[in-house]
A = this chain, B = another copy of it.
Amino acid sequence: MIERIAILGTGLLGASAGLALRAAGYGGELVGWNRNPENGRAALEKGAVDRLVSDSVEAARTAQVTLLAVPVLASLGLMEQLAAALGPDQLVTDVGSTKARVAETAARLYNALGKPAFLPGHPMAGKERGGAELGDAQLFESAVWIFTDDPQAQRTPAASALVNEWREWTAAMGARTLDLAPARHDELVAWVSHLPQFLATALSALLEEQEDKGLDLHQVGGRALREMTRLGSSPFSMWRDIAHTNTEPIERALLALEQRLAHLRENLRTPALREEFEQANRFRKE
């Protein structure tokens, strides 16, 4: 039974995890830490954590499970610090958007004799803006929570029990769990999450440039425009680490889309346009 969970990073995902754990009946203590203390207070006021601490390593040291809910590059830094501070009966898990670098670091510093346990995780949930204020106990409802665990992981019986219990809590929060290899995860999310985001960003930036040139696009824009640019609101701070830690799969997806758009552009008046629409229709029917 997990009696204390440390949530390191009380932004949208960390705060939502605290709220969802409570809503699912978690009765242990939730200790929060945030690099920006103001955001920590917002999570405390929402009831996402029971108390705040000012030292991330100290928060983890006294918890059985530590949830890393910070951007991926910050997670990698915390993983280094915590590996040296925690014991083999303690579990660290995360909600980071890319998994190859996290899994590499886990294989190097965790999941071996005398080392703490690490379970790489990624709930496919979010909003176009971050922050504890948007924290939501329902955020993981019907979402897929992906784990990219290492089949070679060596863990104590106590740590293995924590892994199983944490998986059960993610299901209790409403998520469907799915196991993938880290590289497969990163390839899939490049297509279903990163490509749509970078596309919406490029489209929004391009349209802003047209507005600067004097076209009043907002005046005539309708649902299609709003929908296809909604993700353009996402801040760089949320996406910088993703671009840095999943560069090659994102490059491949973007290049493939550029080529696809060129093909469509060259065929606006040929029968190939029909094939493009029919293939798109099939994707939506599944």
Contact = CB atoms under 8 A, between A and B. Distances in A.
Interface in A91-131: 124-126
Copies of this chain present in the complex amount to: 2
Interface centre among A208, A260, A280 (most CB of B within 10 A): A280
A240 interface: yes
A236 B206 contact: no
Nearest to A204: B280
A1 interface: no
A284 B232 contact: yes
A164 to B, nearest CB: 22
A281 B286 CA distance: 32
B200 A280 contact: yes
Given A193-B222, A231-B228, A265 B258 contact: yes
B192 A220 contact: yes
Contacts of A257: 202-203, 206, 261
Residue of A178, A232, A234 with most chain B CB atoms under a 10 A cut-off: A232
A233 B274 contact: no
Contacts of A227: 196, 227-228, 230-231
Contacts of A239: 273, 277
Interface stretch (A23-31, A75-83, A153-161, A246-254): A246-254
Contacts of A247: 268-269
Contacts of A234: 277, 280
Interface stretch (A7-15, A62-70, A209-217): A209-217
A173 B230 CA distance: 27
A279 interface: yes
Contacts of A265: 250-251, 254-255, 258
A264 B191 contact: no
Interface of A: 124-126, 143-144, 146, 178, 187-189, 191-193, 195-211, 215-222, 224-225, 227-236, 239-240, 243-244, 247, 250-251, 254-258, 260-265, 268-269, 273-274, 276-284, 286
Given A126-B222, A192-B207, 7 more contacts: A189-B220, A191-B207, A196-B224, A203-B260, A227-B228, A239-B277, A240-B273
28 contacts: A146-B220, A178-B219, A192-B220, A192-B222, A196-B203, A196-B225, A199-B261, A200-B224, A202-B257, A202-B276, A204-B279, A204-B283, A206-B260, A208-B280, A209-B279, A227-B230, A228-B228, A228-B231, A232-B281, A233-B281, A235-B281, A236-B273, A239-B273, A244-B268, A250-B268, A251-B268, A254-B265, A257-B261
